[in-house]
Amino acid sequence: MSQKYAKDLSIVVSLYNEAESLPELVRWIQSVMKREGYDYELIMVDDGSTDGSWDRITELAGTDADIHGISFRRNYGKSAALYCGFEAAAGKVVVTMDADLQDSPEEIPQMYDMITGQGYDIVSGWKQHRQDNRLTKNLPSKLYNATARLITGLKLHDMNCGLKAYRNEVVKNIEVYGEMHRYIPYLAKNAGFDKITEKPVHHQKRKYGKSKFGMDRFINGFLDLLSLWFLSTFGKKPMHFFGLTGTLTFLAGGIIAVWLIISKLVAQAHGLKFRPVTEQPLFYLALVALVVGVQLFLSGFIAEMISRSSQDRNKYNIRERF
């Protein structure tokens, strides 16, 4: 039996200090939605803006009942904004996009059809022809995405593109926190939603303001990717990593120590010249391996206990919502 949804489409826009672009963005979205005849909602999440963005959202919502807003008291980051937007979304299909006018609402109808008509769980945008600075954005982005494809196994050319469409069940069954918004397709894949594809989308130059992301996002993104890979592989069973590594390290140290002692005893029994075990550097390396092995094993044991009693981490201080 198919599930009933309140709306055909939910559009989630996360934003931070984008007051200038909001009226134009909303008019553009409204134009596309009216033309296509969608029953939709626009959820705008203000991530602690300081430029009057929330006032602008409130004004826009006063003229259109399909616009809803969520305002954070401080800047939590894009993952927090998307998490709360996903929680509120009631549409059969959920589309995310940025508020800087670089993502085109004209792409939404085809992405919607790919979800509802072709059966995909996620359609990820692919900015084939970026309008960013080639040296500071284009090349690092290509290297970053190549690494992401290698680690995640997802053949997506633009993992970090903000324009994506999801089946509602996807956003309701994944946990977006920290800086993991970049890897929602990977989170979805790990949750069992493996019908993932991409669609080339038009990318425009920024019209107002300036980018909120610098070169550090690629470094942080790579570290987040490694963290996510580790958590998805060993997060539920940390003992499989720490316990195995600790056991192997402990055994290596123990074997080396026993071998040194036996070698000394054999040489002593045959009247051969030998060095005392405690005077051999290898013996102290063996002791280090023994200690490290025990520590790794205990770390795995503690991590296993924590993973089984972890609390919900997604608690955000929302100032206002409607």
208-231 pLDDT, tens digit per residue, is: 766 655 556 656 666 677 776 776
Query: Could you give the 3-state DSSP secondary structure of residue 184?
Result: helix
**Strand bridging mode 91-98 / 164-167:** antiparallel
Read off the tokens for 231.
Answer: 């958590």
Residue with tokens 């003992």, as numbered in its chain? 239
Segment 124-143 shows an average pLDDT of 70
Phi-psi region of 301 (alpha: psi -120 to 50; beta: other; left: phi over 0): alpha
Read off the tokens for 15.
Answer: 């934003």
Tell me phi and psi for residue 300, to 5 degrees. Answer: -65, -40
83-92 pLDDT, tens digit per residue, is: 999 999 999 9
**Strand bridging mode 164-167 / 7-15:** unpaired
Residue 134 banded pLDDT, cuts 50, 70, 90? low
Amino acid at 273: K
236-260 pLDDT, tens digit per residue, is: 677 778 888 899 999 999 999 999 9
pLDDT at 110 over 60: yes
Read off the tokens for 139.
Answer: 């090349």
Collect all residues with Cβ–Cβ distance below 8 Å to 205 and sequence separation of at least 6.
Answer: 102, 131
Segment 170-199 shows an average pLDDT of 88
Find, among 116, 120, 195, the residue nearest to 154 by Cα. Answer: 195
β-partners of residue 11 are 42, 95
Segment 167-195 shows an average pLDDT of 88
The pLDDT score that the predictor gives to residue 264 is: 87
Q: Cα(153)–Cα(144) distance, rounded to whole angstroms? A: 14
With both helix axes pointing from N to C terminus, report the angle between 239-269 and 281-308 in degrees, rounded to the nearest 10.
160
Task: Give the global pTM.
Answer: 0.72
7-234 is classed in which CATH architecture?
Answer: Alpha-Beta Complex (3.90)
Q: Which regions of the chain does DSSP assign to beta strands (E)?
A: 7-15, 40-46, 67-72, 91-98, 122-126, 164-167, 196-200, 318-321
Q: Which regions of 73-211 does DSSP assign to beta strands (E)?
A: 91-98, 122-126, 164-167, 196-200
Query: Could you give the 3-state DSSP secondary structure of residue 43?
Result: strand
